[in-house]
Structure 1
Amino acid sequence: MNPNPVAGARRPTQAALPGLAGAARALLARDLRLLWRRRGDALQPALFALLVVVLFALALGGEAQALAKVAAAVLWLAVLLAGLLALDTLFRGDAEDGSLEQWMLAPVPLGWLVAVRTFSHWATTALPLLIATPLLGELLHLPREQLPVLLTSLALGTPLLSLLGAVVAALTVGMRRSGILVALLALPLYVPVLVFGAGSVTAAAQGMDAAGGLLLLGAGLAVALVLAPLAAAAAIRIALS
């Protein structure tokens, strides 16, 4: 016989509670199902970035030399604006259907769920653009020697943009029609990332060391990985209280 029946009865319940990995898998699977149902909406950031690139190419007359000078900055700006376009929907749907309240009651930290959702947002908005950057660079006649620095800066900068955007989206999740407000709050936070990201490519193009800007992006990403989910979780609690 079990000498402690109460403790024995508690073990199955504790074992049944989802861990961090289980909660992450469940949330990612749900996000992918919803993304598949709204395939048209999911393509909007990528199409918007392509539109920005094409318009810049047309505005500069298609001259290869002029396009090569601004290619890195244009690609950075296109990726930033594409992520900003989808930022308002980061937590909006969950707030409308009551999922955020369930997040707060879940047996895992709210900050962990916010981090998983932010990763999902980055993977569905910035990652496709990161993969398409070599093709978009060819459209803008980007010098190929600048491509590795550009890809590195985007790989470090786009997750940082998503983390900063998650904090802004959490602050405005309780407001209706906050699209313009989200943009106004996020842009001051995005500008340093844009400056260091595009500036590192410019430094490499001028024969200088690009490591300074990349290291600053990496440091910012490391800090944001720790603090941004916690700040966004606190903002969600305040918005829903």
Structure 2
Amino acid sequence: MMRSIASAASSADDEATPIAAPTLFAALVGRDLRLAARRRVDVLLPLAFFTVAVSLFPLGVGPETETLRQIAPGVVWVCALLAAMLSVTQLYAGDFADGSLEQMLLSGESSLSIAAAKALAHWLLTGLPLVLAAPVFGLLFDMHQPAIAALVAGLLLGTPILSLLGGLGAALTLGLRSAGVLLILLIVPLCIPALIFGTGAVAAVEAGLDAQGHYSLLGALLIFTALVAPWATASALRIATE
């Protein structure tokens, strides 16, 4: 009788486990969004950096429209990458400093859910605004409508990669001195393929070619990063808090 009760309780726990992870995931995403609403300056800083950096290039390069069209994809992607790295340095620092991160990890919940939720919240706060702002800067560089659409599609696939890899870098450098510099040295080289495929899609559209191959490579890179980066981030968080 006792064995049957124990097995029933064990099966009930097994059934409850898959429900707990999504609940924790949604709670962490909502928590980070609420905290960001109270710290608007920190949220607007990456977007302000992106806006200023992209806007300075036409002033420095000159008003030649053909030159602006050629450099536009690379400029937007590089500025998006730097803006993402600027904001990701504090992804876990606040929770690590006040002990919240350690409590989350000690609660018995999945550290994978913590890493995935943090990456999604970072993309919603940083990556998505950059995607929405991209058409405006495409017009600033006098890009054609198909090229602007390719730029937006590439950023939509590529910016989640930046958030996932940035979260991994933030976890690896958590609690270290000069963490921002180390994060850039570790993560920026890993983001270069996304930058190449994203700018290549726009160049292909401008040349009248099919950009489907670039989108497929970006999608494959996003899937691979989404499968690997949260696991690596979760391991790095456990090591940093031990």
Residue 111 of structure 1 aligns to a residue whose secondary structure is helix
Q: Aligned-pair distance for 1:13?
A: 9.1
Residues 67-121 of structure 1: CA deviation (Å, up to 9, x unaligned): 1221122111121111011121111111111122122123331011100110000
Match of 1:159 in 2: 160
Residues 22 and 113 in structure 2, CA contact (< 8 A), matched pair in contact too:
no
Match of 1:230 in 2: 231
Distance 1:9 1:196 in 2: 51
Q: Identity over aligned residues, as a percent?
A: 41
Match of 1:180 in 2: 181
Q: Aligned-pair distance for 1:8?
A: 9.3
1:101-180 correspondence to structure 2 within 5 Å: 101-180=102-181
Distance 1:85 1:52 in 2: 13
Match of 1:96 in 2: 97
Q: Give the AA of the match of 1:173.
A: L
Distance 1:142 1:193 in 2: 21
Deviates more, 1:174-183 or 1:35-44: 174-183
Q: Give the AA of the match of 2:123.
A: W
Match of 1:59 in 2: 60
Distance 2:7 2:218 in 1: 49
Residue 62 of structure 1 aligns to a residue whose secondary structure is coil
Q: Aligned-pair distance for 1:35?
A: 0.5
Deviates more, 1:157-166 or 1:58-67: 58-67
Q: Aligned-pair distance for 1:59?
A: 0.5
Flag as ranges the 4+ runs of structure 1 deviating above 4 A: 4-18
Q: Aligned-pair distance for 1:62?
A: 2.9
Q: Give the AA of the match of 2:135.
A: P
Distance 2:35 2:16 in 1: 26
Quickly say closer, same or farther: Cα 1:180–1:207, change in 2 above 3 A. Answer: same
Deviates more, 1:8-17 or 1:231-240: 8-17
Aligned residues: 240
Match of 1:203 in 2: 204
Residues 158 and 198 in structure 2, CA contact (< 8 A), matched pair in contact too:
yes
Q: Give the AA of the match of 1:101.
A: E
Quickly say closer, same or farther: Cα 1:13–1:109, change in 2 above 3 A. Answer: closer
Q: Give the AA of the match of 2:101.
A: L
Distance 2:174 2:135 in 1: 35
Q: Aligned-pair distance for 1:60?
A: 1.4
Distance 2:61 2:41 in 1: 30
Q: Give the AA of the match of 1:227.
A: V
Residue segments in structure 2 that go unaligned for 5+ positions in a row? none
Distance 1:53 1:141 in 2: 13
Q: Give the AA of the match of 2:224.
A: V
Residues 24-77 of structure 1: CA deviation (Å, up to 9, x unaligned): 222122112211111011100111010111110111123323212211221111
Residue segments in structure 1 that go unaligned for 5+ positions in a row? none
Q: Give the AA of the match of 1:134.
A: P
Residue 174 of structure 1 aligns to a residue whose secondary structure is coil
Distance 1:109 1:16 in 2: 13
Deviates more, 1:175-184 or 1:118-127: 175-184
Residues 163 and 225 in structure 1, CA contact (< 8 A), matched pair in contact too:
yes
Q: Aligned-pair distance for 1:11?
A: 10
Distance 1:143 1:229 in 2: 37
Normalised to the residue count of structure 2, the TM-score between the two structures is: 0.90
Residue 89 of structure 1 aligns to a residue whose secondary structure is coil
Residues 174 and 240 in structure 1, CA contact (< 8 A), matched pair in contact too:
no
